[in-house]
């Protein structure tokens, strides 16, 4: 059974700071891993998808890395802005043969102006 842990659970940083969110998962036989953001009371917005064969993906100020063998992924946010405040969710696929996602509890990010 895939289990996902996200550290820290909450993070507060001043505007402009670079930050790293961590995700670890127990079953490394994944197809891919997605990072999402969720604003309060809203659905999920997909940020990045990393295929199991990839090491990293970049989109704007976001960079996600994947170390499948050690069961780790990080999301790097550069030059944080107040609009980045949200909960960030890491979701690897379950394991061999499954495209279903397993979610961590998320990291709640607050960027202080």
**DSSP result, 59-99:** ETTEEEEEEGGGTEEEEEE-S--GGG-EEEEEEEEEETTEE
Interaction between residue 83 and another protein (CB under 8 A): no
Interaction between residue 54 and another protein (CB under 8 A): no
| Tokens at 65, concatenated | 């890395």
Interaction between residue 89 and another protein (CB under 8 A): yes
Residue from 26, 45, 58, 110 in contact with another protein (CB under 8 A): 45
Residues that bind another protein (CB under 8 A): 31-32, 34, 36, 41-46, 49, 89, 93, 99-106
């Amino acid at each position: 059974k895939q289990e996902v842990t996200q550290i820290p659970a909450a993070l507060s940083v001043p505007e402009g700071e670079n930050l790293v969110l961590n995700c670890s998962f127990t079953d490394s036989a994944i197809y891919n891993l997605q990072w999402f953001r969720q604003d309060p009371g809203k659905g999920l917005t997909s940020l990045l998808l990393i295929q199991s064969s990839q090491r990293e993906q970049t989109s704007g100020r976001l960079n996600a890395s994947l170390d499948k063998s050690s069961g780790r992924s990080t999301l790097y946010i550069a030059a944080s802005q107040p609009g980045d405040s949200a909960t960030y969710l890491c979701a690897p696929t379950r394991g061999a043969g499954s495209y279903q996602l397993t979610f961590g509890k998320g990291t709640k990010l607050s960027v202080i102006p």
